[in-house]
Amino acid sequence: MSRTSHILDNALGAVGNTPLIRLDKVAQLHGLKCNLLGKVEYMSAGGSVKDRIAKAMVEAAEREGKLIPGKSVVIEPTSGNTGIGLAMACAIKVCSRTSLNTLAKGYSVIITLPNKMSLEKEAALRALGAEVVRTPTEAAWDAPESHIGVAKKLQREIPYGIILDQYRNVNNPLAHELTTGPEIIEAVVSTPSTSSKPSSGKVDVLVAGAGTGGTVTGLSRAVKKTHNKDCIIVGVDPNGSILAYPDSLNASHEGEQYIVEGIGYDFIPDVLSRDPADIGSWVKTSDAEAFAAVKSLMRHEGLLVGGSSGSALSGALRWLEQEPEGRRISQTPGANVVVLLPDGIRNYMSKPWFLKIAMEAEPSPLAGVIAGVLAKK
């Protein structure tokens, strides 16, 4: 059902149901004959793919009686977007009316956020009513001062503190298996093949970055179980992270810092499947190529995406251009290659990498015209 066809109870009704959009100009610029399609997750209510898991984890915890209105304190270590989804869900719970004049008591939220994550994410979290605790980016995941370590410490000390734990919660990959994946399949299957826009009628390749790995793992399950068992799933992992498989892929940039937020880790989360039967191929990406791809999505497709969307697109392009199977598919008209674009530029407006894209535009022929007009007396 379209989310705009009826009145929604609250913003959680506008989570997900995001569009799948052709990236024709990027495809053309790279000489691709296949369809390149972007699943645009910044159009979800809280602005990212992680709204889906936040909603699913809160609803599951409520069903299981783990959340006590007016008492529970939801604590979560995140790179920001899961926190925004949780804070949004919990803000709605606080404001929903139980009877005419009584506001239901909801849940408080504390987010532990590594220092490298943007000010915009912290501001969004605070605006939604969450507390934010910053942690050192360089702390190892299992160090007490890391975002995970600090969340655990807070949970031990704060009465009714609960960590829904996106790194282990089955509802993380499940939310993608039940929503993101089926939406992609439905959009591809229901779009007819025409002579000008041929389609194989199936999802042939799916490309997604990995943070917790919930998105790529859940997508793989949805597509392989219900739609096309031969679909090739490509995982994208930034240089400096260790999520790619086999491990040898990670060796050359071990420990390197990277700017892109939301993908990559220094440990393997439980929800990430590294089974090659699920994620058949991995690509490593650099900040520079990610930001070049963001610029391309903005200038050529009008899509205001965030940094990890650039990583996913640059990973997809590299796989299509360099892997033998990728080269074959890239030249097959009608083959559908879907790239998951996790969040939007709202989260990064003040970041130097974005300001460089925005403010250091190529000289436009219009600049001279404008100067001429303004100079006229």
Cβ 59 to ligand PMP shortest distance, Å:
18
Active site residue 50: yes
In this chain, which residue has its C-beta nearest to ligand PMP? 262
Instruction: Give residues in contact with ligand PMP (CB under 6 A).
Output: 48, 50, 79, 81, 209-215, 261-263, 306, 308, 342-343
* Nearest by Cα to 74 from 48, 103, 112, 113: 112
Closer CB to ligand PMP, residue 78 or residue 199? 78
Closest separation in Å from C-beta 7 to ligand PMP: 30
Helices 181-189 and 214-226 pack at an angle, to 10 degrees, of: 50
For the bound state, the minimum distance from the C-beta of residue 219 to ligand PMP, rounded and expressed in Å, comes to 9
Kindly tell me which of 181 and 214 has the beta carbon lying closer to ligand PMP.
214
Output 20 or 305, the one with its CB closest to ligand PMP: 305
**Nearest residue (CB) to ligand PMP, 77 versus 326:** 77
Nearer to ligand PMP, 94 or 133 (CB): 133
Per the residue annotation, which of 25, 33, 39, 50 is the catalytic one?
A: 50
Is there a contact between 48 and 55 (Cβ–Cβ < 8 Å)?
no
The minimum distance between CB 358 and ligand PMP, in angstroms, equals: 19
- Least distance between ligand PMP and beta carbon 338 (Å): 15
- Could you list the active site residues? 50
